[in-house]
């Protein structure tokens, strides 16, 4: 109880003290309360916890995060607050460790998933610290969760051809070629308008994460199939890809994912999803000798480490290099 009282005083004073003063306050409070017993302290959840989450989400919205990302952040943070059932400024490291442990057991999730939750909570509490709502982030002492690095699958040339052959709609054929040729994110794909595409240059401008624009390129086959698809369109929707049925609305992320899963079942290809096209493009580009910095620009990655995670090394290339340089 005594520690909670000290912590609450520190939190209340945090916004008007510098770091040196905060340390001195902590020292004085610890000395003053040393031989004092504190009882009858209410430990109840107050309404301002939700406000903290909303303030954080508002700040992230201004930074340019997508609504999909913001919704994920908000859900993750509110689940944590509800589960721990404490004031946000009273949550301690052990509370979060226990929460993450229980979350992993309850949901039977992977280490990658649990580390994503940790990163979101770390961002939230670091922001609270920066804004002087708390003295120190309780996530600081919770380290990154080490996950086993697995080689993520890409599509083979044969699988891509099988999917193309299985398309009964010219739109789906154009969509598959566009994804595999440009390597765009599915969210970027569905936000594209027809005016964003330059058929002459076989390029288009996409709006990526953080509201950053970048130019991507597609091959001749994609150009032909995309042009054929657009020529069949009778609607006036500005979107590059629309639904097959009236009122021909802009295609949504879920629509793309459902369509690709159907193609996967039809062709017996495992794990068919939009992001796999992106990984496949990156891997092919690096295997064919494209500098990693250029692949980074095409994919719209802020850090080159992210690009390296996307691109897996082709084992056949490793085998051939071993024969060439070692044997």
Nearest-angstrom CA–CA distance, 20 and 38: 27
Q: Does 272 fall in a domain?
A: yes
Instruction: Identify the residue whose tokens are 């159907």.
Output: 262
At residue 54, the pLDDT reads: 92
Q: What's the structural domain count of the chain?
A: 2
DSSP class of residue 144 equals P
Q: Say which CATH number the domain at 207 has.
A: 1.10.443.10
Nearest-angstrom CA–CA distance, 294 and 304: 10
At residue 310, the pLDDT reads: 66
At residue 319, the pLDDT reads: 66
At residue 49, the pLDDT reads: 44
Nearest-angstrom CA–CA distance, 291 and 63: 30
At residue 45, the pLDDT reads: 44
309/254 same-domain check:
yes
Q: Which letter, b or e, does each residue of 262-292 get, where b requires 16 or more Cβ atoms within 10 Å of its Cβ?
A: ebbeebebeebebebbbbbbbbbbbeeeeee
**Collapsed DSSP state (helix, strand, coil) of residue 116:** helix
92/41 same-domain check:
yes
181/307 same-domain check:
yes
82/190 same-domain check:
no
At residue 44, the pLDDT reads: 47
DSSP class of residue 247 equals T
Q: What is the maximum alpha-carbon separation in the chain? A: 83
- Residues 6 or more apart whose CB falls under 8 angstroms from that of 270 comprise 153, 264
Q: Does 240 fall in a domain?
A: yes
Nearest-angstrom CA–CA distance, 140 and 305: 22
At residue 308, the pLDDT reads: 80
- Residues 6 or more apart whose CB falls under 8 angstroms from that of 255 comprise 190, 243
At residue 187, the pLDDT reads: 93
Structural contact between residues 253 and 190, judged by C-beta atoms closer than 8 angstroms: yes
At residue 38, the pLDDT reads: 66
> Where is 204: in which H helix or E strand?
strand 203-207
Structural contact between residues 216 and 182, judged by C-beta atoms closer than 8 angstroms: yes
Structural contact between residues 163 and 272, judged by C-beta atoms closer than 8 angstroms: yes
Q: Residue 96 — φ and ψ, nearest 5°? A: -75, -35
Nearest-angstrom CA–CA distance, 235 and 130: 50
List per-block mean pLDDT (blocks of 10 residues) for the chain, which spans 327 residues: 75 77 81 71 48 91 85 94 90 94 91 92 94 90 80 88 96 97 95 96 91 92 97 95 94 95 95 94 87 91 82 61 65
218/111 same-domain check:
no
Q: Which residue range is the domain that position 9 belongs to?
A: 2-130
162/273 same-domain check:
yes
At residue 3, the pLDDT reads: 75
Q: Determine if the pTM surpasses 0.75.
A: no
Nearest-angstrom CA–CA distance, 39 and 122: 32
301/208 same-domain check:
yes
Structural contact between residues 46 and 88, judged by C-beta atoms closer than 8 angstroms: no
> Where is 213: in which H helix or E strand?
strand 213-217
35/113 same-domain check:
yes
Three state DSSP letters for 157-169: HHHHHHHHHHCCC
> Where is 227: in which H helix or E strand?
helix 220-232
30/121 same-domain check:
yes
186/84 same-domain check:
no
123/217 same-domain check:
no
104/183 same-domain check:
no
């Amino acid at each position: 109880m005594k520690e909670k009282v000290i912590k609450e005083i520190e939190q209340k004073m945090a916004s008007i003290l510098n770091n040196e003063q905060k340390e001195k306050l902590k020292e004085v409070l610890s000395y003053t309360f040393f031989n004092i017993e504190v009882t009858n302290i209410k430990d109840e959840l107050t309404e301002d916890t939700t406000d903290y989450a909303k303030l954080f989400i508002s700040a992230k919205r201004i930074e340019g995060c997508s609504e999909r990302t913001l919704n994920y952040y908000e859900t993750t943070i509110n689940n944590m607050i509800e589960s721990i059932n404490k004031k946000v400024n009273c949550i301690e490291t052990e509370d979060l460790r226990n929460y993450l442990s229980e979350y992993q057991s309850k949901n039977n999730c992977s280490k990658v998933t649990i580390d994503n939750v940790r990163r979101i909570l770390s961002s939230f509490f670091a922001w609270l610290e920066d804004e002087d709502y708390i003295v120190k982030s309780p996530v600081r002492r919770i380290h990154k969760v080490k996950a086993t690095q697995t080689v993520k699958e890409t599509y083979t040339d044969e699988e891509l051809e099988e999917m193309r052959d299985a398309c009964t709609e010219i739109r789906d054929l154009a969509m598959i070629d566009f994804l595999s040729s440009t390597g765009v994110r599915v969210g970027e794909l569905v936000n594209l308008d027809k005016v964003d595409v330059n058929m002459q240059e076989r390029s288009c401008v996409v709006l990526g994460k953080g509201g950053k624009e970048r130019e991507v390129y597609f091959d001749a086959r994609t150009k032909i199939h995309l042009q054929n698809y657009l020529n069949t369109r009778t609607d006036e929707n500005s979107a590059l890809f629309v639904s097959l049925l009236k009122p021909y609305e802009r295609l949504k992320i879920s629509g793309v994912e459902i369509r690709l899963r159907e193609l996967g079942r039809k062709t017996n290809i495992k794990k068919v999803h939009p992001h796999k096209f992106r990984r496949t493009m990156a891997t092919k580009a690096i295997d064919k000798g494209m500098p990693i910095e250029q692949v980074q620009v095409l994919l719209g990655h802020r850090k080159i480490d992210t690009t390296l995670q996307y691109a897996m090394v082709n084992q056949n290339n490793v085998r051939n290099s071993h024969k060439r340089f070692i044997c």
